[in-house]
């Protein structure tokens, strides 16, 4: 079961459905969903997850850029950002929770977990690095921002931040299954993107 909350409507999700800014995607106890962005990057939602599309905006610069911001209010999402060096368009993807903001403009894979009712949120990085920050009521300089490298988790529990090795934060068989499934999905997805790019390049040849 996967639903889209759009204003006062509750819409049953369908394959290849177009998602709009302001929509909230809700997965049930047995529901999973994959959001594909304009640059082919993806966010995968686990069961019992609620994710709002806060922002999808084209920014006019020398090189066009798409800025995406999503807000995780409960559950777990895995985001894989694809950034080809010769792409004609840049993308920045930001995953927000009440305690942490994780963002990247480079190729990366990272997992964000925010369990409902728990004062703990985690950002685990599985490929490259991701910038994380703790939102302040009164924004200051970048002293609350840092990069989390591949193999590490940035965790905030009861407002106390710490960086741990990923192995220390995989506590259950469900955690391990989620990580293993998404790691395999990442490999397969990258191969698909490469194949699509080759076909596109061949089609454009005179």
Assessment of whether the complete model's pTM goes beyond 0.85: yes
* Two structure tokens written together for 47: 């069961």
Instruction: State the pairing for strand pair 33-36/50-59.
Output: unpaired
Say which residues have a Cβ less than 8 Å from residue 87's Cβ, sequence separation at least 6: 39
Backbone angles phi, psi at 14, to 5 degrees: -130, 160
Say which residues have a Cβ less than 8 Å from residue 10's Cβ, sequence separation at least 6: 3, 4
Torsion of CA 6, 12, 18, 20, to 10 degrees: 10
Q: List average pLDDT for each run of 10 residues in the chain, which is 206 residues long.
A: 95 94 96 90 95 88 82 96 69 92 94 86 96 76 79 92 94 94 90 64 53
Instruction: State the pairing for strand pair 90-96/101-104.
Output: antiparallel
Per-residue pLDDT at 116: 72
Per-residue pLDDT at 200: 46
Is there a contact between 24 and 48 (Cβ–Cβ < 8 Å)?
no
DSSP 3-state of 101? strand
* Two structure tokens written together for 185: 């999905």
* Two structure tokens written together for 156: 């905030």
Distance CA 195, CA 206 (A): 19
**Which residues does residue 125 pair with via DSSP β-bridges, in sequence order?**
110
Is there a contact between 2 and 32 (Cβ–Cβ < 8 Å)?
yes
Backbone angles phi, psi at 180, to 5 degrees: -65, -45
Q: Which of 155, 174, 167, 152 is nearest to 99 (CA)?
A: 155
Distance CA 98, CA 96 (A): 7
DSSP 3-state of 198? helix
Per-residue pLDDT at 159: 82
Per-residue pLDDT at 125: 97
Residue 184's H or E segment, with its range, is helix 173-204
């Amino acid at each position: 079961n996967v639903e889209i909350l759009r204003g006062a409507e509750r819409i049953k999700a369908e394959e290849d459905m177009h998602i709009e800014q302001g929509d909230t995607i809700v997965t049930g106890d047995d529901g999973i969903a994959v959001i594909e962005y304009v640059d082919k990057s993806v966010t995968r939602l686990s069961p019992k997850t609620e994710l709002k599309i806060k922002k999808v905006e084209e920014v006019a610069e020398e090189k066009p850029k798409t800025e995406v911001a999503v807000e995780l209010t409960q559950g777990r999402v895995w985001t894989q950002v694809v950034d080809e060096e010769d792409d004609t368009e840049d993308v920045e993807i930001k995953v927000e929770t009440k305690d942490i903001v994780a963002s990247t403009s480079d190729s990366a894979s990272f997992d964000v977990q925010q369990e409902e009712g728990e004062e703990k949120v985690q950002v685990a990085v599985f490929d490259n690095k991701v910038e994380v920050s703790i939102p302040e009521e009164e924004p200051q300089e970048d002293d609350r921002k840092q990069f989390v490298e591949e193999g590490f988790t940035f965790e905030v529990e009861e407002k106390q931040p710490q960086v741990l090795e990923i192995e220390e934060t995989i506590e259950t068989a469900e955690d391990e299954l989620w990580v293993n499934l998404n790691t395999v999905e990442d490999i397969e997805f990258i191969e698909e993107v490469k194949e699509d790019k080759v076909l596109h390049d061949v089609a454009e040849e005179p």
